[in-house]
Amino acid sequence: MTTDVKEPSPPVKPEPERQKLGEVVVRFAGDSGDGMQLTGGQFTATSAILGNDLATLPDFPAEIRAPAGTLPGVSAFQVRIADYDIHTPGDAPDVLIAMNPAALKQSLGDLKPNGIVIVNTDEFNANNLKKAGYETNPLEDGTVDGYRLFSAAISTMTRRTLEDSPLDFKSRDRCKNFFALGMIYWMFSRPLDMSIDWLEKKFSRRPEVAQANVKALRAGFNFCDITDQFQVRYEVEPARLTPGTYRNVMGNSAMAIGLVAASRRSGLPLFLGSYPITPASDILHELARYKNFGVTTFQAEDEIAAVCAAIGASFGGALAVTTTSGPGVALKSEAIGLAVMTELPLIIINVQRGGPSTGLPTKTEQSDLLQAMFGRNGESPIPVLAAQSPPDCFDIALEATRIATRYMVPVMVLSDGYIANGSEPWLLPNVEELPDLRLDFHTQAEGFAPYSRDPETLARPWAVPGTPGLEHRLGGLEKQDGSGNVSYDPHNHERMTELRAEKVERIARTIPDLEIDGAPTGDLLILGWGSTYGAIAAAVNTGREAGLNVSRAHLRYLNPFPKNLGEVLAGFKRVLIPEMNCGQLALLIRARYLVDAISFTKVQGKPFFRREILDKAREILEAEADVN
Amino acid sequence: MSTELPVLTKKDFQSDQEVRWCPGCGDYAVLSAVQTVLPKLDLPKEKFVVVSGIGCSSRFPYYMDTYGFHTIHGRAPAIATGIKTARPDLEVWIATGDGDAMSIGGNHLIHTLRRNVGVKILMFNNRIYGLTKGQYSPTSELGKRTKSTPAGSVDYPFNPLALALGAGATFVARSVDIFQPHLRAMLQRAADHKGSAFIEIYQNCNIFNDKAFAYMTEKDSRAEQTVYLEQGQPLVFGKEKDKGIRLVEGRLERIELGREFGPEDCLVWDEAFEDPSMAFRLAYMLPPEFPTPIGVLRAVDMPAYDARSVGQIEAAIDKDGQGELQQLIHSGELWTVKEDGSISRGDG
Ligand code: SF4
């Protein structure tokens, strides 16, 4: 096809100034049809390959297709790139790309003072202003005072660039996100070739689409090169990452790959029973593609059938998993109790979201910890693990498999919307380094008792149908210790209740001690779990640089707790527990260790900012100093 | 390869657990029929898994010396689906009741049938809740007086056969606890069927709903009140074979044979008809107007869910080869940081 991509015009302005930045936070915001997730993803991919450390945070609209131009229709993607080891996608953006008035309205308040706003002026017409709830044009009425505004007629320029494209009008307009991406690439001194490669691969069957987008990308880049508006180009140097091979990974994807890895390392075929639910469905989607790994995915008629099918598959000798979010866990509770009673291995993955009830399906929260711990009838303790970052989902899937199969127990894994959809560079492991999870089913018919126990783990034997001589019956009724026959004996019930609890407690013997980052004793320990990891680590690093006496520790094991947790807590005058709920871990810590922990909570459907945790830590330390 | 199977007998399928249904309960007869038929299937005993939900009939697995799973209320079809899909080599039988299958577990029942999962569903229909001591069930007749409906129930019952047909079941049959030879024949047919097999078994609960089916099970009324469905045979019934069912203007009609009509006027039964509408008509042959049909209402061959699911996995392996874990982990846009801090695209 055509190769008449216009050569960049000779610069009509002096060489732009070059400024080095240690880090930058960019937010792409636009209508859900504007392709902002994709644009942000491209900027991320290119920056990753340039060696920056990074973290991303998508913000999807709750509706599938909210009316175009409205606030509920805004889709945003935030990425932070840095020349050092970072843990979060950043508190406030330095740069905002607003493709329409609604996007500006939604995000402007988050922007840093004096931050850069790039707007697509074409969309700032009366109709769109009204839809966004602006009485007057914010570009003219002082709304953007205090920010550095860059106006560009992105739609018009894209159209003009693609005047002779064979694409129809609508498809040409859709290339405007790549025009915007080209501008950002110019601004942050990024090469275009990674995105061009990607487009050519992605649209290999529709080269005209690839070509139009490439043209728009170049045009955006060249526009910045020639217009006087843009005088500064920024550079973010590569971070010093641990040597090795990396890819950028989202939590749900890492979880899916982790489950496949667990299947391979254990030699058990993977069976996923699942029912579509936000924000967990992507695990189902991804595993459904891995059939050549022997993966069976069963999309059930409801949440209950999903977990029940998994329990059936586990009885049959599969590595059985069900994936869901909080409301789904509520529906599955009775069946999880059955897995507790029948002592079958099962992995329940809860990608938490805002609750209660339907709550905030697309927003993040950590409010299902107590549900995971106690949300079943009867005394039915189960191990609970929590992933702390997108790549950690991979490791946690393997660890959950180890515990479930070694201890014959259902394991709850907590993730959340933030790490499920957020991404970070993942230092890729080599397969041989992964834990060996191989196991043997019970086959010895002589003396077989379905509820006999391994003296170390207290696990009962896993005897799968098809094995001659091991015919036995499982069920939800209380079991006689040893034989597994139905038993209503009061003392047997008490003994079995204790055994089931003791089995979970013994897992603590095989989990690592809780590590402390910082001094092992001191004024303040910040204790976290799950996805607050990044914000806490960032706050503690910054705090320490500023001379604060603060340490931190992060729990991946919520049940049982690491053996040394009590000791760790005892080493500090104050313990601060930040959580995206109303203090659920704090409740457990207080009850278990009688420690007067300070609960610091946030339930806005958004992750913590580093600043919030740092300010709180400072406040506690100052109060502590006043007392002394 | 010769696989000499030991000859199994009924005794091999009897567990050491004491059977605890009420004396006189119809469940005993069903248990006996199942324990008689399974040994004759020429399959190793360890291949059988009996799954149940909650209710009197759901105690069934404890009395079978096979693999068994007494699960939770209504969920037997869902758990059985997981077993069969993960392990298509197993023979999975479900024992369930009218409350378990059609009330709390209704969703799982219809979806299991819709998918045509290769499991056998024996639904003991006694039209009452037995284990919870006598509340009306979703198959209780309108106006049923029970502890929970002292003034009579005001809801219409399910027609279990119509429900199964409506869900797309590929094998649908009805039998009766005390019609032992017939029940055994139906169990054999279910065992031979490849997809989901659903058998409604009329079962007498002599404690809470005694004689619910007496109108058709008593010796003297049996022949007049039932019509046996036999493949390729006209629908003729009565002690003297003097009555029949004919199809006239799209409706079923009961006729007297002899003078005006002969067996040649009766509907010739075809269970293999793919269109289930005729089977529906039979499911709606209700007393007192019609005799109760007993036998196979529908038996059509369609690939089972579990076979299709395994087929997709095999096809994927054929096409792409066994998945390589190292490759899966190391896929996508990769970059490598070297010891000296330099960065290159790709894997090392
Ligand atoms: S209550 Fe009825 S169904 Fe239950 S065991 Fe007794 S007779 Fe049988």
Considering the domain A17-236 in this protein, what is its CATH number? 3.40.920.10
Measure the CA–CA gap between A413 and A401, rounded to whole angstroms: 10
Domain boundaries, chain B: 10-232+270-306, 234-268
pLDDT of residue A2: 43
A409-423, pLDDT tens digit by residue?
999 999 999 999 999
Print the SS3 string covering chain B: CCCCCCCCCHHHHECCCCCCCCCCCCHHHHHHHHHHHHHHHCCCHHHEEEEECCCCHHHHHHHECCEEEECCCCCHHHHHHHHHHHCCCCEEEEEEEHHHHHHHCHHHHHHHHHHCCCEEEEEEECCCECCCCCECCCCCCCCCCECCECCCCCCCCCCHHHHHHHCCCCEEEEEECCCHHHHHHHHHHHHHCCCCEEEEEECCECCCECCCCHHHHCHHHHHHHEEEECCCCECEECCCCCEEEEEECCEEEEEEECCCECHHHCCECCCCCCCCHHHHHHHCCCCCCCCEEEEEEEECCCCCHHHHHHHHHHHHHHHHCCCCHHHHHCCCCEEEECCCCCEEECCC
In chain B, residues with a C-beta closer than 8 Å to the C-beta of A308 are 71-72, 75, 78-79, 81-82, 108
Q: How far is CA A544 from CA A181, A498, A548, A620, B229, in A?
A: 37, 44, 5, 15, 84
Q: Extract the residue ranges of chain A whose pLDDT is less than 70.
A: 1-12, 628
Identical topology for domains A247-433 and A516-627: yes
The residue with tokens 């202003």 is A129
B68-97, pLDDT tens digit by residue?
999 999 999 999 999 999 999 999 999 999
The token pair that represents A116 in the structure block: 């850069």
The residue with tokens 């946030």 is A602
Classify the phi-psi angles of A179: left when phi > 0, otherwise alpha if psi is within -120 to 50, otherwise beta. alpha
Considering the domain A516-627 in this protein, what is its CATH number? 3.40.50.920
A492-507, pLDDT tens digit by residue?
999 999 999 999 999 9
B208-262, pLDDT tens digit by residue?
999 999 999 999 899 999 999 999 999 999 999 999 999 999 999 999 999 999 9
- Does B21 sit in the ligand 1 pocket, CB within 6 Å? yes
Q: Does A316 touch chain B (CB under 8 A)?
A: yes
Asked if B72 and A476 come within 8 Å (Cβ–Cβ), the reply is: yes
pLDDT of residue A60: 82
Q: Which residues contact A531 (CB under 8 A, 6 or more apart)?
A: A364, A366, A387, A388, A389, A415, A416, A418, A419, A580, A607
Which amino acid does the sequence have at B328? L
pLDDT of residue A10: 53
In chain B, residues with a C-beta closer than 8 Å to the C-beta of A43 are none
Index of the ligand 1 atom closest to the CA of residue B134:
1
Alpha-carbon distance B98 to nearest alpha carbon in chain A (angstroms): 19
Considering the domain B10-232+270-306 in this protein, what is its CATH number? 3.40.50.970
Q: How far is the CA of B63 from the centre of ligand 1 (A)?
A: 15
Q: How far is the CA of B133 from the centre of ligand 1 (A)?
A: 9
Q: Please name the CATH architecture into which domain A247-433 falls.
A: 3-Layer(aba) Sandwich (3.40)
B130-156, pLDDT tens digit by residue?
999 999 999 999 999 999 999 999 999
Domain boundaries, chain A: 17-236, 247-433, 516-627
In chain A, residues with a C-beta closer than 8 Å to the C-beta of B69 are 312, 315, 342, 473-475
Q: Indicate if the pLDDT at residue B300 is higher than 90.
A: yes
Q: Whose CA is nearest to atom 3 of ligand 1?
A: B205
pLDDT of residue A87: 87
Q: How far is the CA of B213 from the centre of ligand 1 (A)?
A: 15
Asked if B313 and A294 come within 8 Å (Cβ–Cβ), the reply is: yes
Partner-chain residue, chosen from A49, A315, A429, that has the shortest CB–CB distance to B83: A315
CB-based contact B183:B31 (threshold 8 Å): no
pLDDT of residue A12: 58
> Percent of chain B having pLDDT more than 90?
94
B4 confidence band (pLDDT: 50, 70, 90):
low
CB-based contact A308:A348 (threshold 8 Å): no
| A341 → chain B, closest CA residue | B71
Q: In Å, how far from its chain's centre is CA A98?
A: 24
Q: How far is CA A262 from CA A296, A394, B63, in A?
A: 14, 9, 37
Asked if B79 and A194 come within 8 Å (Cβ–Cβ), the reply is: no
Q: Does A317 touch chain B (CB under 8 A)?
A: yes
